[in-house]
Amino acid sequence: MTERPSPVHQVSNQPPPLQDYDVFAADAALGEGVERQGGGWAAAALHEVGRRAGSAQCIEWGFAANANPPRLRAYDRYGNRIDEVDFHPAWHQLLGFAVAHGMHGAPWADERPGAHVARYAAFYLWSQVESGHGCPVSMTYASVPTLRLQPELADTWVPLTESRTYDPELRPATDKAGVLLGMAMTERQGGSDVRANITVAARGDGGGPGAPYRLTGHKWFCSAPMSDAFLVLAQAPGGLSCFLVPRVLPDGARNTVHIERLKDKLGNRSNASSEIELHGAVGFCVGEEGRGVRTIVEMVNCTRLDCIAGSAALMRQALVQAVWHAAHRRAFGRLLVDQPLMANVLTDLAVESEAATALMVRLAGATDRGAGDEHEADLRRIGTAVGKYWVCKRAPTMVAEALECLGGNGYVEESVMPRLLREAPVNSIWEGSGNVNALDVLRAAAKEPAVVEALFDEVTAAAGADRRLDDHLARLRKDLSSGDHLEYRARRVVEDMALALQGSLLVRHAPSCVADAFCAARLAGDEGHAFGTLPSGVDCAGVLARARPPL
C-alpha cells in the first residue's frame, strides 16, 4: 500500500526559486540605458552574462563563496613567510567568469564607443550574483588610468590587466597570462585623511618617476591582498607619492608585503580585506614625488563609480526578490502584489532602483565620452561624487525595506536578503564615506565652477517637462548661491543635486509612470519618510509591470 504524504509536509503558498532567467532581459531600465548611452552593440554579451547571473549554478556559487570565507596562510609548513590567502572554489569561479568577460579591464583595450557602458552593465549584472569578488575586478579596472601615467610600468602591467585569462598563482608578472591589482591607501591614524600617512618610501637609484623605492610602514585597509600588485601611497622625500608595489619581484622572490590579518567584516564576507605591513618592500614610483593624491585620484574616481554600480546592483536584486515574492504569495485572499499598500511599497522601491540604474549608466556614458568632450568630463567629475554619496546612502534603507516585503522568509539566509543587507553599507564607506564625498562636491564646485555648470546643463535638458522638477532646480540654484553654512549643509545640497540628476534622466527617458512617481515622491515635497508613502494617483501597476522579473 502506497503511503500518502502527510498534509503537514505539503508546501503551498510559497514562491518558486527565482532562478534560470536572463537578468539582463528582465531589466528594462538597464537595457534601455545601455542602448541610449552607446553600448547597444554589447547586447549579446550582456544577455550571456544575464543568463549566467540568473542560473541556479551561479547563484549557488554566491552562497558558497560567502559561507566559506577566505583564510590567511601567513606561513608554510616549514615556517617560511608566504602571506597567501586561500579561497573557496566558488570564489575562483565567480572571479574567473568576471575576468573572462572583461569586467576588470576590457574597455581600456576597446576603442568602440560605449565600451565602458558595456563594462559597467556587465559588472552590475554579475554583482547581483555576489558582490565580494567585485572588489579585485573594480580595483584592476580602476588602476589603468593611474598606471598609464608611468609609461615604462604601463608597458608591462596594462596589457596584463586587459587579459581575459584568470591566473591566480603568485608569480612574477612577466610569467603570468593575466594580473589583478589592488589598492592600499589608508592607515590606522588617518583613515580618509591620507595626507596623515606615515609609511615612508626611501629612494633607490636616485628616485623619481618609474624608479624603485623601499617602502616601510603599514596599511589599515589593503583591498584584495591576493592581487599581483597594489597602488600604494607613501611619504617620499618630496612628499606623499604613489607607488606600484608588486607581490612577487621579477627574480621570483616574494616582496616583503606581510599580511597581518584579514578583516572580520559586517558584510563582503567572501572578499579578503587585510591589514598589511611593508618591511622595505620594493615599490616603483608612479608620477612625480609629492603628487600621490593627484596621481591616484583617477583610480578613486573609477572605483567610486563602481561603488554606485555595486549599490545599484544590490538595489535591483533586492527589488526583484521582493516583487517575485509578492507576485506569488497570497495573504488575506489576494496576492501580496495586488494589495494596495504592498503595491505602494514595491512601486516606491522600483522607482528608487530605476533612478539609481539610470544615473549609473549615464555616468558610464560620460566615462566613454569624457576624453574628448569637456561637458562629459565635467559631468562625470561632479556626478560621480554626487552619485556615490546618494545612491550608496539609499541602498541600505531600500534593501532593508525589500527584505521586509518577504517577512520572516526574508530574514533567513536561504533567501539571500540578509547577505544583500549586510553588503549594502559597504559602498557608502569605501572610497570615501558620505561626508568625504559631500565635501568633495563642494570643493569641486569652488575650485572648478565648470563642473557645476555641467550639472545644470545636464539637468536643464529636461526643463519644462515637469513643473516639480523645474521648481526643484530653481531651489537648488538658490541654495548653491547662498554660501551661508554651506559645509554644514553639504549633505542636503548634494542630495538635492542627486535628485535633480535622477529626476532629469527619468523625465527624459523613463516611461511617464516612473517619472511621475519619482517627481511626486522625491521632488514635490509631499513624500513621507519611509518607502511606501507614495501619494495617490501614481500608476503602481505600470511601474511594477516594468520592474517585475518574468513569471
Residues 345-373 have pLDDT tens digits of 999 999 999 999 999 999 999 999 998 89
Angle between helices 28-36 and 490-509 (to 10 degrees): 90
Residues 369 and 487 reside in one and the same domain: yes
Average pLDDT over residues 399-425: 97
Say if residue 34's pLDDT is above 80: yes
Say if residue 527's pLDDT is above 90: no
Residues 85 and 138 reside in one and the same domain: yes
Residues 431 and 329 reside in one and the same domain: yes
What is the reported pLDDT for 204? 87
Within a domain: residue 19? no
Among 311-320, 392-401, 441-450, the least confident range: 441-450
CB-based contact 53:30 (threshold 8 Å): no
Task: Say which residue, 256 or 483, is predicted with more confidence.
Answer: 256
Say if residue 67's pLDDT is above 80: yes
Per-residue pLDDT tens digits for 170-229: 999 999 999 999 999 999 998 889 989 999 999 988 899 999 999 999 999 998 999 999
Per-residue pLDDT tens digits for 320-350: 999 999 999 999 999 999 999 999 999 999 9
Domain with residue 344: its CATH number is 1.20.140.10
The three-point CA angle 92-51-41 to 5° equals: 105
Within a domain: residue 167? no
Range of the domain at 77: 28-162
Average pLDDT over residues 408-425: 97
Number of domains in the chain: 3
Give DSSP secondary structure letters for 59-103: HHHHHHHHHS--EEEEE-TTS-EEEEEE--HHHHHHHHHHHHTTT
Q: Three cell numbers at 366? A: 560620460
Give percent above pLDDT 70 in the chain: 99
What is the reported pLDDT for 260? 97
The residue type at 169: E
Q: How far apart are CA 317 and CA 125, in angstroms?
A: 9
Say if residue 4's pLDDT is above 90: no
Q: How far apart are CA 253 and CA 245, in angstroms?
A: 13
Q: How far apart are CA 170 and CA 178, in angstroms?
A: 11
pLDDT band, residue 551 (cuts 50/70/90):
low
Within a domain: residue 22? no
Q: What is the DSSP letter of 321?
A: H
The residue type at 385: A
Q: How far apart are CA 254 and CA 103, in angstroms?
A: 28
Residues 72 and 206 reside in one and the same domain: no
Domain with residue 196: its CATH number is 2.40.110.20
Within a domain: residue 402? yes
Residues 126 and 142 reside in one and the same domain: yes
Q: How far apart are CA 405 and CA 184, in angstroms?
A: 39
Residues 509 and 542 reside in one and the same domain: yes
Residues 300 and 289 reside in one and the same domain: no
Mean pLDDT over all residues of the chain? 96
Say if residue 1's pLDDT is above 60: no
Per-residue pLDDT tens digits for 277-298: 999 999 999 999 999 999 999 8
Average pLDDT over residues 454-480: 96
Residues 136 and 222 reside in one and the same domain: no
The last residue of a domain, from among 238, 270, 293:
293
